Structures are given as structure tokens and as C-alpha cells.
Amino acid sequence: MMLPDEQNTGREAEPVDSLPEDDGSYFPVPLATMQPETNAPVDLYVNMGPPMDYVLYKAAGTPLRDEMRERLLEHGVEILYLRGSDREIYYNYVEQHLRAILSDDMLPNHIAAELLYESSSRVMEEVFNNPRTSKNLQRANDVVQVTVTSLLRNPDSIWRMTEMAAQDAYTYSHCVQVGMFLVAASRNVLGITDPQMLTRVGLGGILHDIGKSMVRQDILNKPGKLTTTEFQEVKKHPDFGEHIVRQHGNLMPAVAHIVLHHHEHYDGTGYPEGLMGKELAEVVRLSTLVDVYNALTTDRPYADAKPPYAALRTMVEMDGHFDSQLLRSFIQFLGPNPMRRDMRARWHRARRERHIRKAG
């Protein structure tokens, strides 16, 4: 196989700060996701364009070496292409090597954040489809562990992940978001830095709505207002969730507490037990904030997403639901981050695009 330089295409290096469009038959992946000392999980192609001329570079099963990456980099190739039908195999490979991939210096932080979000979403989709499989909960645990490591190393990546999921209305995406955000908020608002504790909290967050896997889909996706009976059904999800989590043992109480109590309110008006104030652990009180904030800022079947400032205003007005001191700290955590400065503009842009899509 000839490399781009051998053909001297004079082509410019592809920009690694963003991946090109996925054309369906082939999809782009960062070269950095192909780890040395492993075998190519699928056939790897390079684009000898312009604009598209995919040439097989390594066949599936070929050992990958550091020299291969160096050689490709020297030729300005930072993006490989895989056949669309190989997507599942690729993401399984990524999940298997996630820790190494995310700590690879070659991978830009925001692409690492996207990859982590994508991998977590895939794992959680399967957890929701088969919540009683221990292996799936172990996978959730592993992905949270990697998230914690990644967020401790690069705290700002949380903003990229938040942005990515704003238009994702699936229950499992919401869970991924809450899990990641809860890790970031626990570190910043509560000052928790112990990776083990952060993993427990993150696992509680990522599994908090797992009980919804036992609630009828048509109720969860209903666009209009729920009837009293339907709402009673939805309100069972914390109990269902706690049951699932406890059945799989080994999960620390912090996880089960978040799953069971994330709909409790500070003033005791929540469910299922009507606990109030300091009866709820600090991380549980924080989980209720993160859960509501994420729900309000995401498109749902029955309501459009609110921009962050409007979501926070709504939360401040939900007098008594939250620990007000914690809410203040949470707002501060969201406020001064430089990466959030243009979030409002981005939100409006995303909103416009959604309306255009809907109109089309």
C-alpha cells in the first residue's frame, strides 16, 4: 500500500481538531484511537482524496505498531476511515482500550471528550436494554472510572460533553450526562477528589434513572401531560432502580442512595420517601440539582430545552426543592467557566438548527 507522500498528492494534513463528515459508507476516526501493541480491529483506510478516495491501509487483524502511527503522522494523516458496517466492532475496540486511548497525548482533549461521551452512551444504551445483566453494570462501572480519571486530568472536558448531549433526548443519554456532570460538580462544588468516591458518585449518577427501564416506553415518551395513573407509574422508577442496583451487589451504598433518592426534595415534598434536609446526603442533594438542571437544558418529549440561564432561574424559583446553599454553589460552578461564555450563543444556534430540521 502506498502512503500519501509516495504518491505525492501534495495534500494538506487533515485538521485533527474536528473530524470530517461521516458519509455513511465510510466514517472517520482519530488515528490516536488505534493503539500500538494491538491488532487492527477492522480494515483501516486512508483517504487519498480529494475529496474521497479510500484506500486500504491495514487489514483487520494486522498488528499495529508505533512506527505505523509515526509514519502516518509524518504524512499528515491523523484521521483513518472505517467502513460504516464496522462501526460496532470499532466501538467495542474503543471501549476495550478506552483508558489508553484517552490518555494518549495524540488525542486532542475535546475529541477525547466526544469519544468518552459516545462510548458511555453506547454502554448505557445496553445497560438500559438489559439492566439485569451484571456484565453491563460492570461496564458502566468501568466507563465511570475512566470518566473520573479523565475529568480529574482535564476538568474542562465536561463542557464539551454537556454541549454534545443538549439535543439528545434518550433516557440513557440523560443518565450519561448526569453521571459525568455529577462527577465534575462533586469535585468542584463539594471538593471531593478521591477517585474511588468520585467513581461511586458517578456510578450513582449514570444509573440514577435505570429504574425507567422498567417503566413503559409509551409513558416515558408521551409528548403531553401525564395522567395521574401514568405519573404514579413513573414515580416508581427510583424504587425499581434501587432494586436493580442492589441485586447486583458490590455497589456501594452511595450508588443506591442516589438511585433511590434523586427525586427527594429538600423541603420533604419529593418521592419516594419524602426525606428532607440533611436526611439526604450531600451528594444526593447535589444529584437532584444536576438531574433537574440536565433535564431542563435538554429537549424532552414534552418540553423544549431551556438555555442554561433560564434553567437556573427556574430552579431558583422552585423554592424549597433544593438545598439553596448548594444551589448557589452550583450556579457559581456553572458561571465563571470561560468555556461557557459562548454557550448561550451556541444554544440559540442549536435551537435554530433544530427548528430548521423540524420545518424541513
| Residue with Cβ nearer Fe ion (242 or 291) | 291
Dist. CA 103–CA 132, nearest whole Å: 31
Copy the grid coordinates of residue 232: 404514579
User: Cell 475529568 belongs to which residue?
Assistant: 151
Q: What size, in residues, is the chain?
A: 360
The DSSP secondary-structure symbol of 84 reads G
Q: Which residues pair with 46 in a beta bridge?
A: 55
Find the angle CA(85)-CA(87)-CA(90) to the nearest 5 degrees: 130
Cβ(264)–Cβ(273) below 8 Å:
yes
- The least distance separating Fe ion from the CB of residue 178, rounded to whole angstroms, comes to 6
Q: How far apart are the first and last CA of the chain?
A: 44
- Pick from 271, 101, 287: nearest CA to 177: 287
- Side-chain-side CA neighbours of 223 within 13 Å: the count stands at 1
Axis crossing angle, helix 109-129 with helix 87-96, rounded to the nearest 10:
100
| Residue with Cβ nearer Fe ion (95 or 209) | 209
Copy the grid coordinates of residue 109: 482533549
Cβ(256)–Cβ(242) below 8 Å:
yes
| Residue with Cβ nearer Fe ion (163 or 209) | 209
Q: Which residues pair with 264 in a beta bridge?
A: none
- The least distance separating Fe ion from the CB of residue 88, rounded to whole angstroms, comes to 27
| Residue with Cβ nearer Fe ion (16 or 161) | 161
- The least distance separating Fe ion from the CB of residue 138, rounded to whole angstroms, comes to 22
Q: In the complex, which residues of this chain contact Fe ion (CB under 5 A)?
A: 209, 291
- The least distance separating Fe ion from the CB of residue 311, rounded to whole angstroms, comes to 14
- The least distance separating Fe ion from the CB of residue 30, rounded to whole angstroms, comes to 31
- The least distance separating Fe ion from the CB of residue 234, rounded to whole angstroms, comes to 8
Cβ(212)–Cβ(220) below 8 Å:
yes
| Residue with Cβ nearer Fe ion (104 or 291) | 291
- The least distance separating Fe ion from the CB of residue 223, rounded to whole angstroms, comes to 18
| Residue with Cβ nearer Fe ion (82 or 292) | 292
| Residue with Cβ nearer Fe ion (234 or 276) | 234
- The least distance separating Fe ion from the CB of residue 259, rounded to whole angstroms, comes to 9
CB atoms within 10 A of CB 134: 11
| Residue with Cβ nearer Fe ion (28 or 211) | 211
3-state SS of the chain: helix, strand, coil percent to 5?
60, 5, 35
